[in-house]
Amino acid sequence: MGRVNDTIQFMAKKKLITPEDIDNLVSVGNPKISPDGSQILYTKKCVKDGRNNTTIWVAQTKGSKLPRQLTNDGKDGLPQWSPDGSQVAFIRGSESGGQIFMIDMSGGEAIQLTNFKEGSIASISWCPNGCKLAVSYRQTEEVYTQAASEKRKENKESDPPIITEEAWYRLDGDGYFGHARFHLYLVDSTTGAHKTIWAKDTLGFFSFAWSPKGDNIAITTNTSKNALTDSRLTKVVIYNIKSGKNTILPNCKKGPKTSICWSPNGKWLAWAGREGDESTYSTQNLELFIASSTKGNAKSITKDFDRCLMAVTLTDTGEVSFEAQLIWASDNAHILARIGWHGEEHLYSFSTKGGAFKVLTKGNAGHTIGNVASDGKTCSLLVLKATAPPEIFVGKISASKITLKQVSFENTEWCKNHAIAPSKDKWLTTNDKTKVHCWIMRPPKEANTKRSKPAILQIHGGPHAQYGWTFFHEFQCLASAGYTIYFSNPRGSKGYGRDHCGAIKNDWGGADWVDMQSVIAAMQKDSNVNAKNMGVMGGSYGGYMTNWIVGHTNEFRSAITDRCVSNLISMGGNSDFAAKEDGYFGGNFWSRIEDRWRQSPMRHFGNVETPMLIIHSEGDLRCNIEQSEQVFAALKLRGIEARFVRYPKSTSHGFSRGGAPDMRKHRLNEILSWWKRRLK
């Protein structure tokens, strides 16, 4: 009995999760295993002195030694091992942009390698012989540099206007860059001297990969004047290091191409792509292509496989990357790829001949591969689970599975000390016989909420992404506050096949609304939920669907719409990705507006009676804040209770995941305060 009582007392002492836990949670990422397989580099992001602090750490793959810190500047990222494992190259940020630094693994301080002018570095990759690095870098236009800004302050001059003649001049989270574009450079790994080798990509979205011998670089690039709206002309260019000449790989399908990688024997190239004019982000599946590195003749080996290489599972405790992940196996006959399916992310092995595939990982989790060691059998991974933030693992690859071993434990103690609510999944059947995957998260017993039984419906953004088995700090805060959380993957979500995802193309508020009604009905039938005490909330597309729901039902006592879409007509021209005519949505936003107005929640705001909290960032370049301004204005003019929280221009569309800690905590406290006020 004594041991039982001790266990009960220990369990009772677990802390409820609050917004302030952002200061204690650690986000890890960018795992890279050393060539000999003995160590894994990773980035560690935490809060220090009220700011985000990112450093590079190294973990041992064998033994029980704890990871050690490699850098301490606080703005370090994208670590890359040199081919012999003796050095690490990484990017160190500053107010005037990023530079490449090098650190010797035998000891010593990091040394700056490059001296680029003010700008941004997107990616770096070592040449297999170690003498060079390929670097994606964008130089800041002179008028927007720190030096120019300081000079204007001295002269008491105003900030300059933003002037552009290009449709592509801004990106959410990246800001306004005007005519500047990422170019590909070669950097000497000893002197830091650099030269441009590719500057023709219209948008700067190219991917690249070294050949195994280091004599060529393969580049996927779109040089079309209409690259923003048409990906058909994306091509594969082979740059020869010795001659400096470019050769276009022949006989490749027209369509987007990204995440290119070279087979170990140098004979083959693989990339993620599809046929057509849409970008890699689409309702269509992103497929796996292979081609001869000299003759081309590209073919899709997953064309008949209804899975997408860009089915991403959302979380707020790690970086969410919509890039496809591809790595060649050492036998040159298989390719490893990350596939999102039914709320999980697993590593699949595909034969280059097509046909059967193998799933190498398992369980209710997400798996992201970093790289593979020289032996071809040892790899680094990031593993995501529903009851703990992501951690770093080492994997042993065999023909049928990857055996995992955890090597980082950044959040282990925090998890032991906090009352983490698990989630359970179930499948619902809609009125039109569609199966919808749904999750339910109950308050932990420490929340002690047996009487009121309030519940909240959470709706994900995208819409072409998925909820699943990942840790959500926001959900855990709500569960600790006593709310049951429902979340699901209605039609429009990735991870359930092409038709499930494509069902809402040019029909937002159609099949997705049918599916959401089934989730709402399940909440109302839940004996652990008070059907008269429910709320609904969501961000981005989730904000769209929240707006749509309150315009079509009064089943919810209150709602929170976050960085929302409310009017698809005005949205067409004020997002960083302008909506082309007769593309994803029918018509256009200037003269043929019928399709877009038909799908706009604002069309139904005359029916809204639900009090709403409205959250938006003035720096949001994806969903412009005017979308929320319309919601707030309509509610106030109609006398509906509303509260509008506008975050400053320093924040962006995704700041709830990776923004300034004080702003993230403020947002979560606003959410909790609203629900406490509205849900009794």
For range 237-246, the mean pLDDT: 97
Cα 208 to Cα 83, 260, 320, distances in angstroms: 17, 6, 21
> Tell me: the pLDDT tens digits for 147-161?
999 999 999 999 999
For range 564-578, the mean pLDDT: 96
For range 106-112, the mean pLDDT: 94
For range 49-73, the mean pLDDT: 95
Q: Tokens 């008491």 map to which residue?
A: 156
Confidence of residue 12 (pLDDT cuts 50, 70, 90): low
Strands 642-647 and 612-617: parallel
- For 320-352, give the secondary structure using H, E and C: CCCCCCEEECCCCCEEEEEEEECCEEEEEEEEC
Query: What's the fold here for domain 419-678?
Result: Rossmann fold (3.40.50)
Least Cα distance to 171 among 625, 575, 541, 647 occurs for 575
> Tell me: the pLDDT tens digits for 591-649?
999 999 999 999 999 999 999 999 999 999 999 999 999 999 999 999 999 999 999 99
- Return mean pLDDT, the chain: 95
- Residues in the chain, how many? 680
| d(C-alpha 60, C-alpha 366), whole Å | 22
Question: pTM for this one?
Answer: 0.96
> Tell me: the pLDDT tens digits for 409-447?
999 999 999 999 999 999 999 999 999 999 999 999 998
Which alpha helices (DSSP H) does 225-317 contain, by range? none
Structure confidence at residue 95 (pLDDT): 83
Q: Is the pLDDT of residue 371 over 70?
A: yes
Structure confidence at residue 6 (pLDDT): 45
Exposure pattern of 58-82 as b/e (b: 16+ CB <10 Å)?
Answer: bbebeeeeebeebbeebbbbbbbbb
Angle at 565 between CA 563 and CA 569, to 5 degrees: 145
Dihedrals φ, ψ of 644, to 5°?
-115, 115
Structure confidence at residue 3 (pLDDT): 46
Q: Tokens 């200061």 map to which residue?
A: 23
| d(C-alpha 399, C-alpha 377), whole Å | 10
Strands 183-188 and 132-139: antiparallel
Task: Name the amino acid, one letter, at 92.
Answer: R
Structure confidence at residue 321 (pLDDT): 81
Structure confidence at residue 556 (pLDDT): 98
> Tell me: the pLDDT tens digits for 281-301?
999 999 999 999 999 999 999
Q: Is the pLDDT of residue 573 over 90?
A: yes
Q: Is the pLDDT of residue 4 over 60?
A: no
| d(C-alpha 212, C-alpha 251), whole Å | 23
| d(C-alpha 661, C-alpha 655), whole Å | 9
For range 121-148, the mean pLDDT: 96
Confidence of residue 319 (pLDDT cuts 50, 70, 90): confident
Angle at 20 between CA 17 and CA 23, to 5 degrees: 110
Longest CA–CA separation in the chain, Å: 79
> Tell me: the pLDDT tens digits for 490-545?
999 999 999 999 999 999 999 999 999 999 999 999 999 999 999 999 999 999 99
- Give first-to-last CA distance, the chain, whole Å: 39
Q: Tokens 């009017």 map to which residue?
A: 567
